Amino acid sequence: MASGNREPFNNTVVEWIDSRMPIFTLLNKEYGVFPVPRNFNYFWNFGAIAGFMLVVMIATGLFLAMHYSADTGLAFNSVERIMRDVNGGWLIRYIHMNGASFFFIAVYIHIFRGMYYGSYKKPRELLWILGALIFLLMMATAFLGYVLPWGQMSLWGATVITGFFTAIPFIGEDIQVWLLGGFAVSNPTLTRFFALHFLLPFVIFAVVFLHIWALHICGSNNPLGIEPKTRQDTLPFHPYYTIKDSFGLLVFVLVYCVFIFYMPDALGHPDNYIQANPMVTPPHIVPEWYFLPFYAILRAITFNMNLYFLLGLVMLLLLLVDFVWRKKPVYLSAAGGLALLVVGGLLVLTGFTGDSCQRIDAQWLEANVGFKNMCGTLQALPGMSAEAAPISAKLGGVLAMFGSVAMLFVLPWLDTHPVRSARYRPLYRVFFLLLVVVFLILGYVGSQPADASVAGVPLILVGLLGTGYYFAYFLVILPLLGRFEKAKPLPESIHDVVLAKQINAETKI
């Protein structure tokens, strides 16, 4: 019977199976002899590490589910029982709890690696989009899971996050009630969150399968960002990268174990060891650390987007389309563009300041930026009141937060520069590193109370500036760099660079 073109295996059991269903031939093709660029650095370990973490989370989650009760009267105590009475229960829970954090650490490094080396560019756009989808699914899964222990942060975190839906005009409140299965986070919410938290990791698993499939069709990128040309540029995946991935994984798991065994609660919030109480709101509700930059973006929009602001924004957007996104400015002359920039900018500023004057951070503006007399004048303008604003601050925050994740999906089309790796793009490298710093600062801002300040500067302002840079990076800086940045000359081949490095190292000895 035909079983395709395949080499027979020496092992009789393997051969017996493979001749009937060539799974070992497939594995050998995809993970044995599969050609991979020979110059990977350790950042290329994190895909395999993320895959390992997904398996760990599914395995430990399954055992936790055997002892967990998804009922508001029992959930908190069932988790305490896992910790105290179930054999090895504390270990399984700590592996799962800290596993979520380490899964996100691996995936964040994986994403930023992809951005630094331009791995999202042609022909890997679909691979990247599948990755972004995985990230979105991971965020949903982590949020649902955090509700299950039914501590104070579980309840109030869920209340805050599902409250975002009320920002949707007209139907928002109905959607929230539908999602919760009631008017507040309660028993129907907990049972459905448990069901979904159990399901989603399997959906992630399926998307990871597609992600790897897409990867094996176009092959891996590498630190130089150039395609392998000859066999000399590649190595078989096994044993070279099975060993390198195993070593990286071992180091990662060592750090992970330090957290599991020596500081298992360091990454969590102490309030989640207090049973959920709908009658007591914690003074400072914070999400898990991996959501903090996005939480900061959500909170950065404290102003209502009134007609002035929106009109200005549309003008600036037109400018962006015509002068930044499109190759040639077709419709506008330079003078027209300048006029649009000035008028649009002024309208945005007018709308923003006029609205800010109505709120607390206006006190800071008035004291520090001298807006004292301007506030009265601006507020007297028609349509400046908060009620007249088409997009409320809450809706604006939600749009900004979802927009910040959406940037990942369109990234391959925003960065139009033909060179992939930041190694050969000196300007891109600076802006990218700044983005990483801004992302970390946003994480810090998200961890602090909304009215906190550092050295007299309100963090809400830092959050707004950080959010501004985040969006400017994707929407303005990348497209502009794509048109104007002069890259360094690219090497001829991967092999040349590896060999030159080796000769260099040997002559030093």
Catalytic site positions: 216, 220, 244-245, 288
As measured in angstroms, the least distance from the Cβ of 245 to ligand HEM is: 8
Which residues of this chain interact with ligand HEM, rule CB under 6 A? 44, 46-48, 50-51, 54, 107, 110-111, 114, 117, 119-120, 124, 127-128, 131-132, 134-135, 204, 208, 211-212, 215, 220-221, 408
As measured in angstroms, the least distance from the Cβ of 131 to ligand HEM is: 2
Number of H helices, E strands in the chain: 20, 4
Q: Measured from the CB atom, is 132 or 378 closer to ligand HEM?
A: 132
| Residue type present at position 26 | L
Q: Measured from the CB atom, is 114 or 344 closer to ligand HEM?
A: 114
Q: How far apart are CA 436 and CA 473, in angstroms?
A: 11
Q: Measured from the CB atom, is 127 or 348 closer to ligand HEM?
A: 127
Q: Are 451 and 302 in contact (CB under 8 A)?
A: no
Q: Are 149 and 272 in contact (CB under 8 A)?
A: yes
Q: Measured from the CB atom, is 103 or 146 closer to ligand HEM?
A: 103
Burial of 503 (0-12, 13-18, 19+ CB in 10 A): exposed
As measured in angstroms, the least distance from the Cβ of 436 to ligand HEM is: 15
| Residue type present at position 124 | R
As measured in angstroms, the least distance from the Cβ of 476 to ligand HEM is: 21
Q: What share of the chain is helix, strand, coil (3-state, %, to 5)?
A: 70, 5, 25
Q: Measured from the CB atom, is 317 or 490 closer to ligand HEM?
A: 490
Radius of gyration of the chain (CA): 26
| Residue type present at position 153 | M
DSSP 378-413: HHTSTT-SGGG-SB-HHHHHHHHHHHHHHHHHHHHH
Q: Are 117 and 100 in contact (CB under 8 A)?
A: no
Q: Measured from the CB atom, is 111 or 347 closer to ligand HEM?
A: 111
Q: How far apart are CA 331 and CA 322, in angstroms?
A: 7
Here the tokens at position 335 are 């003078």
User: Which regions of 138-245 does DSSP assign to beta strands (E)?
Assistant: 234-236
How many CB atoms lie under 10 A from the CB of residue 341?
14
* Close Cβ partners of 450 (under 8 Å, ≥ 6 residues apart): 299, 460
As measured in angstroms, the least distance from the Cβ of 144 to ligand HEM is: 16
Q: Measured from the CB atom, is 119 or 353 closer to ligand HEM?
A: 119
As measured in angstroms, the least distance from the Cβ of 233 to ligand HEM is: 14
Phi and psi dihedrals of 492, rounded to 5? -65, -45
Q: Are 164 and 129 in contact (CB under 8 A)?
A: no
DSSP code at position 275: B
As measured in angstroms, the least distance from the Cβ of 218 to ligand HEM is: 8
Q: How far apart are CA 366 and CA 451, in angstroms?
A: 16
Q: Between the CA of residue 323 and those of 113, 135, 168, 320, what are the distances in Å?
A: 30, 32, 32, 5
Q: Measured from the CB atom, is 210 or 317 closer to ligand HEM?
A: 210
Q: How far apart are CA 281 and CA 90, in angstroms?
A: 28
As measured in angstroms, the least distance from the Cβ of 4 to ligand HEM is: 25
